[in-house]
Amino acid sequence: MNEGHGTTRGLVWKESRQLMPVLLILSGVGLLLVVLWQWIATFSYQRDYIGNYLPFVLPALFSVGAAAVLVGQEKEQKTLWWLGSLPTPPARVFWIKLAASMVGLVIMWGVCAVLVALTHAGHTGGYAGGMGFGRWLGASTYVFLAVHSFYILVCGFYTTWRFKGTFASLLGILPLSIVPFVVIEAIGSLRNWGLGPSWGASVESVLVTYSVLVASIVLMTWLANRAAMKALGPTEPESPRKIDALSWAEPWRPSELDSSSRDPYRLSIASLLWQSIHHSRYTLLAITAMIMLGTVAGSFFTRSQWVSFAGGQLGALMLAGLVGVAWLGVFAFTGDGSASRLRFLADRGASPTIVWAGRHLVGLSIVATAILLYWLLTYQVLPNLYREGLEFIPSVAFVTLVLWVFYSVSQWTSQLTRLLALSTVLAPVLSIFTAYWLGYAAMMLYMPLWLLVLLSMLPMLATWLMMRRYMDENRGWQSWVISIGAIGLIMCVPLISPALKVAQFPTISDAIRSQRLAQAKATKRFAYPQPLTIHQTLGYENLIDEKPSAEKRLAQLEKRNFEPRVLFQPPGGSIENVPALSIDSQTLFPMIKYANYQKVRVQSAPDNEVEAAAMTDWIEMMVDVVKRLRKSSRWLDQDRADVIEIWLTNLMSDESFDAFRERDFAKETIAMLANQEARSEARRRAVLISWYDEVTKRESRFDSLGGYESNSWPDEYTMPLRPDEYTMPLRPIIQPRLAEAVADAGLRMIEASEQGKPIEPIRRELHNLLIGPEQSFDVSPYGPLVQASSDRVHPSDLLWAYRNLPSIKWYSPWEQKAKALANQDVDSAETKEME
């Protein structure tokens, strides 16, 4: 007889082939979920901590389901008994199954590691860079999770060999899985340790933790082996004492109904209900207990007192409750609800609708009871026991919707996969994902609630539509069409409205885009602008800003002299040595304020040459800054240069400044202010380069357009409630289009000015893009009222400088005023010459 390698090889081949589909399906589903989740997280601009758990769900699910596939499924299909009829020792069957599943678990951890690595790859910056699965876990926690997953695996083997039903064995894993924690906690309580290695415990506690885990694995393996030997060996006869004795429950049983004279149920659905309850009472009872415990835990979780006291335990119970609801859904189409058993009803012409309803009545009743219990505890009992705090209490409708989605998706999974082991593993994962997706669609994609309810009903509708074929055990292409159609609807319907909004979003034609890009590419770049910074002088800020002590401090200030070129410097050099500058509002604001202060000083002492010289220094410095800001490739710097130029224009137009106009610095300043062409050219270059950098991602921040935070558009000052398309997760798609449209408008504004065309339509366009058409154009920064007063620099103008809106001051009346200044100079020169 070939007892050795041949048998082992055959068994190893068989177990591998049985595990392969589970490994592939879990890896595929895991990859799909990770990709989808990452896609969602990228759009939500936030780290999605739930997603961190996704890759780790794979080994966890495998460890729970491996025994169900290798043993439970074989028991259900009775192939285990055929295997038992072959001449091979039961121990060999047991150990090869266990070894194969352990190898499978190692592979699953490998897949998990690959997914973690994949999610880390290519994300080094930006919001999406925060999306790194498992990054939060320490190495010790990885090891702990891995070792614990092996413990869960052997628990699964024990329960599956021990219990007849796969469902019962899966339920049995839950209490067993926490046994090591209880032991560790008990030892920890005795020695004042924390729980587990990730809580920063001592080396000793880590040793004890792993010792307990390893001992648990050994113990559970021994128990599993014993159960397997019992299951695969000859069945022991019942003891004569047991055979003759009455069951303890016998006296409590009702007397037998006389079935010949009574028909207990008149309606077929009532019979189906009876069948649903009785075909696996203990399993149903256990699932119900899980759900009710989860519900109670959920109610207490709404109270901060309980969260701080037993948050972890309550969370675990809530999760178990949700898994219970998923398994309740699976329960609908397993056992007597499986296709092979329902064939009995199909052969007797039972209505698929009635059977479908009969399969769901018990499950939905249990879910409804759980919801009622939640309402009772959360809204009736607990408020009387605990004082109301600022707690987040999920509404009954929310809880109903979550439980409904879990049940709905799980029963569909059960009907589709038909393998109990697989559906019990897949159903909770798919339920969590669907619930998250629909919730995300409602909250982030602004999907209407009625649509959410309709979509959540699709899985139920799918199983109802497939019921006849399911009962006939005839799954044709129609079933696949219904399934794929329903999946497609659930995934795509929430995207329709955002997609339409994206499609309707303003954009430029390909021809214009190509033309602009070519133009941008050909534009000359100066050196990257260096930031102009303010070198704070002790006490100076406070003197200006702190009004109560301003007068007192002003007296001190008046005793001091400030060199503007010392106060404002680029890093490591003077302004003159830098080809291009950039400036932020934190620097621009004090510059204007201090220059104003100097202006006041000059106005108060017009004949004081010292003050006049100081004023000259300020103006010359500001002119130098403007010239270098104009060489900056950042759009923002052009607008900041506008603010300085407006201030200078006003200063030069001021009558108190007439005496200085003949000086060289004033002439140079007026010449600069009046040079509209140079300003337009600088603006054009900055817009083109800013847009080009944004398009080609030369700028590392994808949310920046020439220094403007384009991801904050539209302007949040004027429009705190933005339209859906700006806040929805499709923002990354809209973002480049918005930037493109804004840049194009900026360039067209320059062109319109050069060609003498009206600019207001383009301003209105910018208003619609950046502020929103719902807002009044009249009071918009681009609107006529603000533009009419744009020749003044006052506190509100400085506020505009903080604003994230480009080109507000472009081609406004101040530029005409600046031109007029130059003309005025020419006129006065001519007058002088004539004189």
Partner 1 sequence: MNHVITTTDLTMRFRGCDALLGVDLNVEPGTVFALLGENGAGKTTMIRILTGFQKPTSGSASVCDIDPMRDPLGVRRRVGYVSDAPALYDWMTVGEIGWFAASFYGGNFHPAYGEAIRRYEIPEDRKIRNLSKGQRAKVALSLSLAHDPELLILDEPTSGLDPMVRRDFLESMIDRAAAGRTVFLSSHQISEVERVADTIAILHQGKLRLCCPLVELKDSIIELTVNLDDPLIALPKLPDSTETLCEETYGRQRRLVIRDFSSDMHSLFTSREGVVGTSERALPLEEIFIAYTKGSLGPGRPRENPSEIVEEDAKVTSGSQA
Q: Does residue 698 touch partner 1 according to CB under 8 A? A: no
Q: Which CB atom, from 1 or from 721, has the smaller least distance to partner 1?
A: 1
Considering the rule CB under 8 A, would residue 13 count as an interface residue with partner 1? Answer: yes
Q: What is the DSSP string of 539-589?
A: THHHHHH-HHHHHHHHHHHTT----HHHHEE-TTS-GGG-S-EEE-HHHHH
Does residue 448 touch partner 1 according to CB under 8 A?
no
C-alpha angle 249/254/255, rounded to 5°? 115
Residue 79 or 696 having the CB closest to partner 1: 79
CA pair distance 466, 479, nearest whole angstrom: 6
Residue 260 sits in the site that holds partner 1 (CB under 8 A): no
Please tell me whether residue 39 binds partner 1 under the rule CB under 8 A.
no
Is residue 242 involved in binding partner 1 (CB under 8 A)?
A: yes
- State the minimum distance, in angstroms, from the CB of residue 470 to partner 1: 17
Peptide bond into 714 cis (omega under 30): yes
Q: Are 331 and 170 in contact (CB under 8 A)?
A: no
Residue number, 85 or 261, with CB nearest to partner 1 = 85
241 binds partner 1 (CB under 8 A): no
| Contacts within 8 Å (CB) and 24+ apart, 704-709 | 705/635, 705/739, 705/742, 705/743, 705/806, 706/633, 706/634, 706/635, 706/636, 706/806, 707/582, 707/634, 707/635, 707/636, 707/637, 708/635, 708/636, 708/804, 708/806, 709/804
- If binding is defined by CB under 8 A, does position 6 make contact with partner 1? yes
Q: At CA 249, angle to CA 244 and CA 250, rounded to 5?
A: 55
169 binds partner 1 (CB under 8 A): no
**Least distance from partner 1 to the Cβ atom of residue 255, Å:** 17
**581-620 mask for partner 1 (x: CB under 8 A)?**
----------------------------------------
By CB under 8 A, name the one of 49, 139, 192, 238 that touches partner 1: 238
**10 is a contact residue toward partner 1 (CB under 8 A):** yes
Residue 3 or 204: the one with the smaller Cβ distance to partner 1 is 3
Based on the shown chain and the rule CB under 8 A, indicate whether residue 263 belongs to the binding site for partner 1: no
Does residue 542 bind partner 1 (CB under 8 A)? Answer: no
The 10 Å Cβ neighbour count of residue 468 is 17
DSSP 8-class letter at 706 = T
Site for partner 1 in 89-108 (CB under 8 A): 89
234 or 349: whose CB is closer to partner 1? 234
Among 220, 223, 228, 221, CA closest to 74: 228
Residue 802 contacts partner 1 per CB under 8 A: no
Residue whose C-alpha is closest to residue 131's, from 118, 147, 112, 141 = 118
CB 65, min distance to partner 1, A? 17
Q: Binding marks (x or -) toward partner 1, 62..91, rule CB under 8 A? A: ---------------xxx-xx-xxxxxx--
In the complex, the smallest distance separating the C-beta of residue 14 from partner 1, rounded to whole angstroms, is 6
Residues binding partner 1: number (CB under 8 A): 31
Token output for 67: 């025994």
According to CB under 8 A, which one of 49, 139, 192, 237 is a site residue for partner 1? 237
CB of residue 244 to partner 1, shortest distance in Å = 9
Q: Which of 825, 824, 817, 792 is nearest to 673 (CA)?
A: 817
Provide, rounded to whole angstroms, the least separation between the CB of residue 82 and partner 1.
Answer: 5
Cβ 669 vs Cβ 627: under 8 Å: no
**Under rule CB under 8 A, residue 122 binds partner 1:** no
CB 685, CB 717: distance < 8 Å: no
The rounded distance, in Å, linking the Cα atoms of 636 and 529 is 12
Task: Convert residues 617-656 into a mask of x (bound to partner 1 by CB under 8 A) and - (unbound).
Answer: ----------------------------------------
The continuous run of DSSP H or E covering 531 comes out as strand 530-534
CB of 247 to partner 1, least distance (A): 8
- Rule CB under 8 A: which of 197-236 touch partner 1? 233-236
DSSP designation for 122: T
- Determine the Cα–Cα distance for residues 227 and 232; give it in Å rounded to an integer: 9
Q: Which is nearer to partner 1, 1 or 385 (CB)?
A: 1
Per residue, what are the HEC states of 620-662? HHHHHHHHHHHCCCCHHHHHHHHHHHHHHHHHHHCHHHHHHCC
> Smallest distance from the beta carbon of 258 to partner 1, in angstroms?
20
9 binds partner 1 (CB under 8 A): yes
In angstroms, what CA-CA distances link 817 with 72, 596, 702, 736, 792? 88, 20, 38, 36, 11
The residues binding partner 1 (CB under 8 A) are 1-2, 6-7, 9-11, 13-14, 17-18, 77-79, 81-82, 84-89, 233-238, 240, 242-243
